[in-house]
Structure 1
Amino acid sequence: MVSKSDLTDIRRLSLEELESVVKELGQPRFRARQIYSWLWTKGARSFEAMTDLPKGLRQTLAERFALRPIEVDKVQRSLDGTIKTRFRLYDGHLIESVLIPVPEDKRFTVCVSSQVGCSLTCKFCATGQMKRVRNLEPGEIFDQFWLVNQQALEHFGHPLTNVVYMGMGEPLLAYRNVWRSIELISDPKGLNFSPRRITVSTAGIAKMIRQLADDGARFNLALSLHAADDEKRNQIMPINEQNNLAVLMDALEYFWRKTHNRISYEYIAFAGFNDQLEDADRLARLCRRFPVRVNIIEYNPVEGVSFTKSPEDQIDAFARRLRKHGVMVTVRRSRG
């Protein structure tokens, strides 16, 4: 007898593969559509919940397949309304998602994780201190969206409006699973969430940025930049040694020319390291080749990391300098 841990997760199957399964089981083809709808529109967390399927079919599916939804482990709500949720995966590993509400703008964003841990060892990042364990399954990424959307509805009476792949992990090193999760979230036959409201963030893997363009990505792209010259970026982001700024700018221009999707730079301001006016001047020069918005981010200090947050007045001066150069700038204050 096959153990539960060895069963294939049914959420790995495409609609066409589900159609083959129900045909093999002697069921009409429309049962596959029902199963697909339960998984990706109704967020079913067990086969027993699929109440419009015959009981015998539900039992057979439970014997042949696994259904491994993520489980809420801990919820932490901040005074500013931000909700951080720690999820437990079927194998016991933990990941986090964050709901970032801006009710006055009717903007409700979920920040999702794409990996357990991360292999890039960025010097300022808490996840970078962890070893990469595995990529998240498409269904595990989808679950973050689904469950945090329920939180948004419960606490704010409004569904999610935006998704950012900026949680644990490097999305472009989980390329296929991230791509599939976006297909599921934006499927017109399912949740029909607009890909234009989805942003994938990367530390900067040039060949994968080009791959996104070649594959016809319809979502937005954010580069975790954090320094506007190679010397400083090498110090905080080892990946820059193989993907330097010249290589990244070429890849980003290629992405923009092929997709015309929105590109942004994420720029955490570290006191005395990358927050001076000459840093702003260098950053402005990286904004000339294609349309780009700069998001300046207040640093959330990480235990064991020497970097500290830049003072607010320094961040404001930095932003003013960029605007003087004609750069589109948003300042994101620390949340959660």
Structure 2
Amino acid sequence: MTNLSKDLREFLNEHFTINAISLDKFQKSNDGTIKSRFQLHDAHMIESVLIPVPYDKRFTVCVSSQVGCSLTCKFCATGQMKRMRNLDPGEIYDQVVRVNQQSMETFGHPLTNIVYMGMGEPLLAYKSVMDSVALITGDHGLNMSPKRITISTAGIAKMITKLADDGVKFNLALSLHAADDVKRNEIMPINETNTLDVLMDSIEYFYQKTRNRISYEYIAFKNFNDSIEDAKNLAKLCKRFPVKVNIIEYNPIEGVEFVKSKEDAVDEFASYLRNQDIMVTIRRSRGKDIDAACGQLANKD
């Protein structure tokens, strides 16, 4: 920046740093999904995913909020990694900027949606996530509507309550995956200290305070959580306040014994919920051939 004086440039160099992320690896799936591995200033790696749905003019980026994760969910590749640190707001923001560039270059369309569903638990990186949302939605940033942003959590009740008290405008997604405490404890250790009763109270509080959209993410595992009895338990949770259920195809992960549910079992499960007037979407996996699908982000070469 030669339009600045030499003294000022030296001052800025001495007192400020810009820790930009850099593209380390780029993979494109057969279905158009793009996974990017970014290197951070301290040599750590994170992954972001661009999920294009051109016919619907929907281009979503899935961003990471931590290097690794501390929650050890049994079905998630990221959960098998050690949590190294939280990302700073600029590193989250930069993922959005870089993937938006990819979307423009590849599809000729900017991003339409942002989901915090990549590596890490967003509510355990609370300040960074909130600051990054402020950057993304601010006039001085990307000026994106918070209604196009969804923060996903494995279920940290006190932080969901804090979101409500902070009056956030974005949407909330709960990675539920089981509708009773016994099964959820088995696959998600966080449930032992954030039981479904406590969690539902916090989410109901969030809804009452914000009226923001809430969705439950539910990965269907064969002979584990895909029975009609499981659907009945889930329906009970859905009756307390308006909620949408996304049933997600399980993506195989090395060293994990879970198997995805059969399509007819998922269809029956979804039909039961719909008959209870619950909004349900069955989501087929995108990008699983490049380990970019739900639960597969683990910085694999």
Same fold (TM over 0.5): yes
Alpha-carbon distance in 2 for matches of 1:281, 1:207: 27
Equivalent residue number for residue 73 of structure 1: 24
> Per-residue CA shift, 1:207-259, capped at 9, x if unaligned?
00000000111100000000000010000000101101010110000000000
Q: Pick from 310, 315, 323: which aligns with 2:274? A: 323
**Higher relative contact order, structure no. (Cα contacts within 8 Å, ≥ 6 residues apart):** 2
Deviation at 1:189, TM superposition (A): 2.8
Alpha-carbon distance in 1 for matches of 2:30, 2:188: 32
Q: Pick from 198, 222, 226: which aligns with 1:247? A: 198
Comparing 308-317 with 58-67, which one deviates more in the overlay? 58-67
Moved over 4 A (4+): none
Task: Please tell me the residue identity of whatever aligns with 2:68.
Answer: G
Task: Please tell me the residue identity of whatever aligns with 2:199.
Answer: L
Equivalent residue number for residue 279 of structure 1: 230
- Under a length normalisation based on structure 1, what TM-score does the superposition of the two structures give? 0.83
Alpha-carbon distance in 2 for matches of 1:124, 1:317: 23
Alpha-carbon distance in 2 for matches of 1:314, 1:101: 28
Alpha-carbon distance in 1 for matches of 2:49, 2:22: 15
How many residues are paired up? 286
SS at match of 2:168: coil
Is 1:54 paired with 2:7?
no
Is 1:83 paired with 2:51?
no
Deviation at 1:190, TM superposition (A): 2.4
Equivalent residue number for residue 300 of structure 1: 251
Deviation at 1:61, TM superposition (A): 1.7
Alpha-carbon distance in 1 for matches of 2:231, 2:255: 27
Equivalent residue number for residue 13 of structure 1: none
SS at match of 1:265: strand
Alpha-carbon distance in 2 for matches of 1:85, 1:113: 11
Correspondence 1:201-212 to 2 at 5 A? 201-212=152-163
SS at match of 2:24: strand
Query: Gaps spanning 5+ residues in structure 1: where?
Result: 1-47
- Under a length normalisation based on structure 2, what TM-score does the superposition of the two structures give? 0.93
Is 1:163 paired with 2:138?
no
Deviation at 1:55, TM superposition (A): 5.2
Alpha-carbon distance in 2 for matches of 1:208, 1:241: 16
Correspondence 1:107-256 to 2 at 5 A? 107-256=58-207
Deviation at 1:319, TM superposition (A): 1.0
Equivalent residue number for residue 269 of structure 1: 220
Task: Please tell me the residue identity of whatever aligns with 2:32.
Answer: G
Task: Please tell me the residue identity of whatever aligns with 1:107.
Answer: R
Question: Max radius of gyration: which structure?
Answer: 1
Alpha-carbon distance in 1 for matches of 2:15, 2:231: 58
Instruction: Give the RMSD, CA atoms, in angstroms.
Output: 1.1
> Per-residue CA shift, 1:18-68, capped at 9, x if unaligned?
xxxxxxxxxxxxxxxxxxxxxxxxxxxxxx4xx7x5253445322321111
Alpha-carbon distance in 1 for matches of 2:140, 2:64: 24
Alpha-carbon distance in 2 for matches of 1:134, 1:225: 24
Alpha-carbon distance in 2 for matches of 1:205, 1:191: 28
